[in-house]
Amino acid sequence: MAIAKAERLMNLALCLLGTRRPLSKRELRESIEAYLEAGSDDSFNRMFERDKDDLRELGLVIETVENLDGETGYLARRDSNRLPAITLDAEEAAALGLAAKVWQQARLAGAASGALQKLRAAGMPEAEDSYEAHHSALEPRIPVHEAAFEPLMLACRDRRPVVFDYRKANAAKPEQRQVEPWTLECWRGHWYLAGWDRERRAERVFRLSRISGRVRSRTGGFTAPVPDVVTVRETVESWAGETATRSALIRLRSDCGYPLRARAVSSRELGDGWDELEIPYGHGLDAWLVEFGPDVVVLEPADLRADVVDRLRAVAKV
C-alpha cells in the first residue's frame, strides 16, 4: 500500500511538473494508471485531493488555475519549485535547528525534522558543540492547539482564498467570512490570522480560537495586493491590543492576572483581596480583560467597561 501511494504521488508530481499548461482532473486521471483504476468519480476525487494535499505538504508548489470555461486546472511550475544554492555557516545552522525545535509540539514536527535532514544532506553544517552544551536545556515551544492552524498555514503559503465560520468576541453566533489569508502571527500565546476580508473589502485580523468548523479552500487567486510582512505584523499587534493610546484603571484580585501586572505602569493595594492597576489601553484590551473573568473589574474609562460587559454577556449566551 505504501509503495503504491508513493508511486502515485511521484506520477502526479511528474505530470504537474512536466506540463506547460494547467491540467484538469480529467486529464490527470487519464494520465495516471492508479487514477484510472479508481472505482468511481467520488473515489478518484477523494484520492486526488489527498494526493494533492500530500504533495503540497512535502513542499511542492501547486498552482490552481481556472480557464475561461470555468474548469479548474493544476500545474507545478519548475521555477516555483526550484531552490537556489543554500549556504549556511555554523551559527545560522544552529539558529535554524533551534527554530525547528519550536514546532516539535505541533503537527509540523515531521516537516521541520525532514527539512533539517534535507539541508544537512545538502551540506548544511551541524550545530557546534558549544551551542548544544549551553542551550540543550532550553526547549522553545509555540502552542498550536487550534485545528484551523494547519489549513490556514498552507493557504497562506499557497496564496489560496479560504472560507470559515468566525465568532466575534461580542457575538453570540459565528458568521461566515471569506478571506484571502496573508500570514499567521503568535501573540501572547494566541494565534492570529491577518488577511483581506472580501465581503468587507478591508484588512482584518482573526483569532484562530474563534474559528469554528472546517476551514475550506476556494479556487482562484487573490483580488487584493498582499502588503509587506512588517506591515501585517504591526496590524496583528495592533488588533491584539499591543498599540496603547491611553491608560485604563482596573481592579484586579490579589495573586491573579500576572500578565496584567507585568504591563501595569502603577499599582496599589486596595485591601480585601483586591489591587488597583493602571495599564496601557489600546485596541483589543477589552477582549484580553474578558479572559480573566471575575478576577478583573474595569473602573475607567466608561467605554472600556461597557465593551467588557458586552463581551461577557455575549459569552454568557453561548
Q: What is the pLDDT of residues 162-198, one digit of tens each?
A: 999 998 766 678 899 999 999 888 776 778 899 999 9
Residue corresponding to grid cell 487514477: 35
251 vs 273: CA distance, rounded Å:
10
- Residue 165 domain flag: yes
Rounded to two decimals, the pTM is: 0.51
- Check residue 210 and report its DSSP letter: G
Q: Would you put residue 271 in left (φ > 0), alpha (ψ -120 to 50) or beta?
A: left
In a domain, 137, yes or no: no
Mean pLDDT of the chain: 82
238 CB-side CA count, 13 A: 11
pLDDT band of residue 268 (cuts 50, 70, 90) is: very high
Q: Provide the 10 A C-beta neighbour count for residue 41.
A: 11
- Domain-terminating residue out of 204, 219, 240: 240
How confident is the model at residue 129, as a pLDDT?
46
Decide which of 240, 274, 290 is a domain's last residue. Answer: 240
Please check whether residues 235 and 258 belong to one and the same domain.
no
Whether the per-residue pLDDT at 226 is higher than 50: the answer is yes
CB atoms within 10 A of CB 72: 13
If you average pLDDT over residues 238-247, what whole number do you get? 68
Q: Are residues 294 and 271 in the same domain?
A: yes
- Residue 61 falls inside a structural domain: yes
Question: Parallel, antiparallel, or unpaired: how do β-strands 211-217 and 202-207 relate?
Answer: unpaired
Domain, as residue range, for 286 = 247-317
- Which of 56, 90, 110 marks a domain boundary? 110
pLDDT at 2 over 60: no
In a domain, 128, yes or no: no
Calpha distance 316→245 (Å, rounded): 30
91 within a domain of the structure (yes/no): yes
Average pLDDT on 245-250 reads 88
> Do 234 and 161 fall within a single domain?
yes
What pLDDT is recorded for position 281? 83
The strand pairing partners of 66, in sequence order, are 72
| CA 39 – CA 47 distance, rounded (Å) | 11
Q: What is the pLDDT of residues 51-90, one digit of tens each?
A: 998 898 888 889 988 877 778 999 998 887 776 777 777 7
Looking at the structure, do residues 159 and 234 belong to the same domain, yes or no? yes
pLDDT at 130: 42
Query: Does one domain contain both 214 and 259?
Result: no
Q: Are residues 152 and 232 in the same domain?
A: yes
pLDDT value for 134: 47
Residue 245 grid coordinates: 493610546
262 & 233 share domain: no
d(CA 175, CA 172) in angstroms, rounded, equals 10
Q: What pLDDT was estimated at residue 250?
A: 94
Number of folded domains that form the chain: 3
Using omega within 30 degrees of 0 as the cis cutoff, is the peptide bond preceding 301 cis?
A: yes
Give the position of cell 496573508.
182
Confidence band for 243, pLDDT divided at 50, 70 and 90? low
Residue 264 in contact with residue 279, Cβ under 8 Å?
Answer: yes
Calpha distance 39→20 (Å, rounded): 29
| Structural domain contains residue 134 | no
175 and 225 inside one domain: yes
Which pLDDT score is estimated for 221? 87
Tell me, yes or no, whether 172 and 232 share the same domain: yes
Q: Do 297 and 251 touch, CB atoms closer than 8 A?
A: yes
Helix, strand, coil proportions of the chain in percent (round to 5)? 45, 25, 30
Q: What is the per-residue pLDDT across 125-170, written as a single tens digit (0 to 9) for each?
A: 665 544 444 445 555 566 667 889 889 988 998 899 999 999 876 6
User: With pLDDT > 90 as the criterion, what percentage of the chain qualifies?
Assistant: 30
- Is 136 domain-assigned? no
What CATH number should be reported for the domain holding residue 98? 1.10.10.10
- Lowest-pLDDT choice from 26-40, 53-67, 91-105, 276-290: 91-105
Say which DSSP state 272 is in: T
Confidence of residue 231 (pLDDT cuts 50, 70, 90): low
pLDDT range class, residue 278, cuts 50, 70, 90: very high
**What's the average model confidence in pLDDT over 104-114?**
62
Q: Which of 152, 196, 154 has the alpha carbon at shortest distance from 178? A: 196
Say if residue 258 is in the same domain as residue 281. yes
Distances, alpha carbon 35 to alpha carbons 8, 23, 117, 125, in Å:
8, 14, 32, 42
What stretches of 115-201 adopt beta strand conformation (E)? 162-166, 175-187, 190-197
| Structure confidence by residue, pLDDT tens digits, 20-55 | 889 999 999 999 988 988 878 899 999 999 999 889
9 and 96 together in one domain: yes
Euclidean distance between CA atoms 58 and 45, whole angstroms: 20
Whether residue 89 sits in one domain with residue 6? yes
Interatomic CA distance for residues 21 and 23, integer angstroms: 6
**Is the residue at 299 inside a domain?**
yes
- DSSP strand pairing (72-75 vs 23-24): antiparallel
